[in-house]
Structure 1
């Protein structure tokens, strides 16, 4: 994985005391059509025992960011700049051997599609046991026993029998639980869950989220939960990071972003969610337009082409000047704090109910 020279103007101060610290992360992919600017100056921190939710539409850079943390991109086509520090260890530019020792042991990931992430050629138990045998240096028999233990822990019935089943013999919810078991088999300090409830029914979604919370309490893991659905993270995450076009546009606690969102994009995400007590005939309010191409992202604020409040800023500032996301609670938007409060109370909040 090659490195880029990062712009000086986007430099951010180093974090202190964070278990995972990402600073000024830039990720570029070389394609036949040009350079894809997948992540553009991203910074965030995560403490032990806490859950960070990263939300945004498809293509916003959520998964790319976390695959970069794990070092899973093709080094021939990927350029990376910035700092990724896990428990004091710099991961950017680390050797494949170093990253292989960390993956599955100190950090692990629950991938988005369990059916394709699990190999159809090996039993579920073997795949769960493999990282435990590799990183703990135990026998295959001990690995099998650990796999059975983890299947029981994640709620798979009759784990001693199901351990020898293949992925296609598991339901979608059971495969997702098996993926969680495989990710947690070595008690990782960092767990990245990429859309862990995709394609699952509402009941199973709730079970998976409750399972993550229970396992976090038991193992004390730091969790990054990637999703496009603010409703999924509202009951599990401590803090939220909203991404758009490879950039962070808003961050704060779950309570702050749900009750007092500041960025027009966050307003759009909330407005497009169904509400439990709303009239069944009420239509959702979609965000107009489509996310920009990361081959040629728009200048200034990346969201200005879809935003309905640029006239409040005026002077063409939104299309010319990139807004800065402040440290701590805040949003990358040229609207003043007073304008944000006024628009939210008068226009957005009535829609949300």
Structure 2
């Protein structure tokens, strides 16, 4: 079996605050191979972005405690120095942020910002960096790139700014690309264009992609594998088809039930998940989803509220839930049948 390009093992990210310790990520493990896309999905506050900031080494060490293991091409990142991380960021690994306008400097041209990243990691001249910036703008579909390279961010539309962010992230041909909800603020047409662009560029570069989102429709379009997070933990893992068509955790079931099915009847009422995500300052004991779970009373002995369910993964598939397979077949039958063709 080949060694994964990215391997995260028992990652914990805890923040020190005036109110106490926030357990933002609390024991997370996953692997990612080159050329594959892992979709990480969950509500706000589930730990998605915190996980990927830890991979990039962007947390403030003064108030952040990291534990576990993050291996990028066999290089340990948690213990890496800031100098090592700076060498890797933008070069071997890169990130597309959600808000391109906030992430781009209003005082510098698009070309200068793309070129700066390239110069830092290659030591090339300004002229060479400009040529590279024009090439990248062309690759991401910016019209007249030799002219638009001298424009400022405010002169680009939202979709074009996002394309420029992608060009900046890919300018050094990174082997790992983290996309943090890059299409959230875009209309559906531009969103589809950006998704197609990412898939085309992945085929061209063979990049491993982590795609963070709360939108399961986006996951269905771009991901190979899916990791569902809740309360700083992984509650379900599997291939896209396994997770979206045959969920094994009540939280995943709730996420799917709260969005319209693209391949089913349009008159099926949506079923929002009751309650709110947990406070990670004082998270619930046992399964963190149990206060909102409609099936918690089906498990004998109150185990859901007292015992953390193990995430047992077999061939990449697993769910952290105390319900037995028989109970899941009994409780989830209509849903699973409706989405399995």
Q: Output the TM-score relative to the length of structure 1.
A: 0.93
Which position in structure 1 is the counterpart of 2:232?
Answer: 246
Which position in structure 1 is the counterpart of 2:181?
Answer: 195
Which position in structure 2 is the counterpart of 1:262?
Answer: 248
Which position in structure 2 is the counterpart of 1:8?
Answer: none
Which position in structure 2 is the counterpart of 1:42?
Answer: 28
Counterparts of 2:2 and 2:63, CA distance in 1: 32
Q: How does 1:279-294 map to 2 (within 5 A)?
A: 282-294=268-280
Which position in structure 1 is the counterpart of 2:333?
Answer: 345
| Contact 2:245/2:336 (8 A) holds in 1 | no
Which position in structure 2 is the counterpart of 1:173?
Answer: 159
SS in 2 for 1:316: helix
Counterparts of 1:162 and 1:272, CA distance in 2: 41
| Contact 1:25/1:81 (8 A) holds in 2 | yes
Q: How does 1:145-164 map to 2 (within 5 A)?
A: 145-164=131-150
Q: How does 1:84-103 map to 2 (within 5 A)?
A: 84-103=70-89
Which position in structure 2 is the counterpart of 1:60?
Answer: 46
- Deviation of 1:278 (Å): 5.9
| Contact 1:242/1:250 (8 A) holds in 2 | yes
- Deviation of 1:275 (Å): 2.9
Counterparts of 2:14 and 2:263, CA distance in 1: 43
- Deviation of 1:129 (Å): 0.9
Indicate how the Cα distance of structure 1 residues 351 and 50 shifts in structure 2: closer, same or farther if over 3 A, else same: closer
Indicate how the Cα distance of structure 1 residues 24 and 293 shifts in structure 2: closer, same or farther if over 3 A, else same: same
1:335 aligned onto 2:323: yes
Indicate how the Cα distance of structure 1 residues 175 and 111 shifts in structure 2: closer, same or farther if over 3 A, else same: same
Give the alignment partner of residue 63 of structure 2, picking from 60, 71, 77.
77
Which position in structure 2 is the counterpart of 1:300?
Answer: 286
Indicate how the Cα distance of structure 1 residues 309 and 349 shifts in structure 2: closer, same or farther if over 3 A, else same: farther
Larger mean Cα displacement after TM superposition, 271-280 or 252-261: 271-280
Larger mean Cα displacement after TM superposition, 15-24 or 147-156: 15-24
Q: Deviations over 1:314-353 (max 9, x none)?
A: 2211000000111220100000011112222146655999
Counterparts of 1:305 and 1:348, CA distance in 2: 24
Which position in structure 2 is the counterpart of 1:215?
Answer: 201
Structure 2 unpaired stretches of 5+: none
Structure 1 unpaired stretches of 5+: 1-14
Counterparts of 1:278 and 1:48, CA distance in 2: 34
| Contact 1:271/1:351 (8 A) holds in 2 | no
SS in 2 for 1:225: strand
Counterparts of 1:282 and 1:155, CA distance in 2: 39
- Deviation of 1:169 (Å): 1.1
Which position in structure 2 is the counterpart of 1:6?
Answer: none
Counterparts of 1:351 and 1:219, CA distance in 2: 33
Q: Deviations over 1:255-286 (max 9, x none)?
A: 10111110000001111112346666654221
Q: Deviations over 1:104-160 (max 9, x none)?
A: 000000011111111111111111111111101110111011111111110111111
| Contact 1:250/1:262 (8 A) holds in 2 | yes
1:233 aligned onto 2:219: yes
- What is the root-mean-square deviation of aligned Cα atoms in Å? 1.7
- Deviation of 1:66 (Å): 0.3
SS in 2 for 1:234: helix
SS in 1 for 2:44: coil
